[in-house]
């Protein structure tokens, strides 16, 4: 018989390979309902947001440059406004997380975090709607005849970043806290001992999925650039908006539906 590989010293954590990391990620999805529902929302949001951005941003900046002559204003306004959005949102979010952590009961913490996720869903849905209003066929129908329509476009795009950016900052903190409570303190040691592995793999899956749909929608848009009201372009933009609007409400809706049913069950 061949010599068996030496086991790692007791107490030393062995870093799993890629196949084992994927297995841990899938087991977390199967075993932890809150994580599964929240991750489903994250994946659908990544698909919808990148699909819509691939269609809207390309066509919006083309319109801003060629027709409205405000492409530079559009870029500069967002560049210098976003740090302020980040600072303000981070401060309020940090205070909110500190208040949640002051509660000794994980159940109370999770309940308040789920409510925050509903607020995240509202902010990202509104941000998605504002971005959709920047889509040239819709923007021209609603605002093109108005005075200073170019600056209306700047305002819409800036407000999109205000609502979507603030929601993303809140979501980043609250979602991390939810999975910390449900995975890191999970009695299944193969999950809690590999919390950061699961978290990192989740981020990578969302990133890769988002990039796939972003580049796919960009290719689609470049192909139909002269026919923005065609079925493929409109379908991609509308589907992206629908996914962005509903994705982050999946976890809060399922959580409160389950609690409502539990309260109604007879003792």
The domain that holds 179 is classified in CATH as 1.20.1250
Residue 19 resides in a domain? no
Portion of the chain with pLDDT greater than 70, in percent: 90
Contact 119, 170 (CB under 8 A): yes
Kindly tell me if the per-residue pLDDT of 19 is higher than 90: no
Question: For residues 151 and 74, what is the distance between their CA atoms, to the nearest angstrom?
Answer: 9
Give per-residue pLDDT as tens, 129-156. Answer: 999 999 999 999 998 878 888 889 999 9
Residue 14 counted as domain residue: no
Question: Which of 27-31, 43-47, 213-217, 224-228 has the weakest average pLDDT?
Answer: 224-228
| Domains identified in the chain, total number | 1
Q: Residue 239: how many CA atoms within 13 Å on its side-chain side?
A: 15
For residue 235, being part of any structural domain is answered with yes
Q: Which residues contact 98 (CB under 8 A, 6 or more apart)?
A: none
Asked if residue 150 is part of any domain, the answer here is yes
Highest mean pLDDT among 66-75, 100-109, 181-190, 226-235: 226-235
Determine the pLDDT at residue 186: 66
Residue 257 lies in a domain: no
- Token match 């991390």: residue? 176
What would the mean pLDDT of 167-176 be, rounded to a whole number? 90
What integer pLDDT is reported at residue 266 of this predicted model? Answer: 43
Q: What pLDDT is stored for residue 5 in this prediction?
A: 46
Whether 8 is in a domain gets the answer: no
Least confident segment among 134-143, 179-188, 209-218: 179-188
Summarize the confidence of residues 175-193 as an average pLDDT: 82
Q: What is the DSSP string of 75-111?
A: HHHHHHHHHHHHHHHHHHHHHHHHHHHT-S-HHHHHH
Average pLDDT over residues 66-70: 83
More confident residue, 21 or 84: 21
Assigned token pair, 257:
């539906």
1 within domain boundaries: no
Q: Which of 4-8, 94-98, 99-103, 234-238 has the lowest mean pLDDT?
A: 4-8
- Is 34 within a domain? no
Q: Contact, 165 vs 126, CB < 8 A? A: no
Q: Which domain holds residue 43?
A: 39-251
Q: For position 9, what pLDDT does the model report?
A: 52
């Amino acid at each position: 018989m061949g010599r068996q590989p030496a086991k790692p010293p007791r107490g030393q954590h062995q870093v799993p390979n890629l196949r084992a990391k994927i297995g841990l990620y899938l087991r977390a999805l199967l075993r932890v309902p809150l994580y599964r529902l929240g991750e489903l929302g994250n994946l659908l949001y990544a698909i919808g947001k990148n699909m819509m951005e691939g269609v809207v941003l390309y066509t919006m900046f083309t319109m801003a440059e060629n027709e409205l002559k405000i492409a530079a204003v559009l870029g500069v306004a967002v560049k210098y406004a976003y740090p302020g959005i980040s600072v303000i949102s981070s401060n309020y979010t940090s205070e909110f997380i500190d208040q949640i952590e002051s509660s000794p009961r994980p159940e109370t913490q999770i309940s308040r975090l789920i409510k925050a996720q509903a607020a995240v869903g509202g902010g990202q849905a509104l941000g998605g709607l504002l971005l959709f209003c920047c889509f040239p066929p819709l923007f021209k129908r609603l605002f093109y005849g108005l005075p200073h329509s170019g600056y209306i476009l700047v305002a819409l795009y800036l407000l999109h970043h205000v609502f979507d950016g603030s929601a993303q900052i809140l979501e980043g903190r609250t979602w991390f806290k939810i999975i910390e409570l449900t995975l890191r303190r999970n009695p299944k040691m193969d999950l809690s001992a590999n919390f950061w592995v699961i978290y990192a793999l989740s981020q990578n899956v969302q990133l890769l999925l988002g990039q796939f749909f972003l580049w796919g929608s960009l290719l689609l848009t470049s192909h139909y650039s002269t026919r923005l009201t065609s079925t493929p372009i409109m379908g991609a933009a509308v589907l992206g908006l629908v996914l962005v609007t509903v994705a982050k409400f999946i976890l809060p809706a399922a959580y409160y539906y389950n609690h409502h049913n539990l309260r109604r069950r007879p003792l």
